[in-house]
Amino acid sequence: MDYLGVNKGVISGGHTYGRLNNYLGEVAGRFPERLLALASIKEWKADDPAVQDELITAIRENRSTRFVFRYSQIHREGRHELSETGFLTVSGA
């Protein structure tokens, strides 16, 4: 980062390796002035209280200040629209 003149970086995990919110929070916590961690959730279960709790934990305890919501992932359990009940609260719509 220093070599390229980057002051702050963003780190994010995807679904491939499972939930990395704790790990990414730890890494960002080591260098809070340099790294910002993005939390991720199972978008297709965004209306599940357990998934919402996971997001809240990532924000409060793991120093994640933003989260990733991949709209393309909501199809996994037959979901198709963010307008379905439950998504409005999570997406901020």
Q: Which domain holds residue 16?
A: 9-91
What separation, in Å, do the N-terminal and C-terminal C-alpha atoms of the chain show? 35
As separate numbers, helices (DSSP H) first and strands (DSSP E) second, the chain gives 3, 3
Q: Is 51 inside any structural domain? A: yes
What total of structural domains would you count in the chain? 1
Put the strands of the sheet holding 66-68 in their side by side order.
9-12, 35-40, 66-68
Tell me the pLDDT of the chain (93 aa) as tens digits. Answer: 999 999 999 888 777 666 788 888 889 889 989 998 888 888 777 778 898 888 888 888 776 666 666 666 666 666 666 555 555 454 443
> 42: number of CA atoms within 13 Å, CB side?
15
Q: Is 3 inside any structural domain? A: no
Query: Token pair for residue 3?
Result: 């070599």
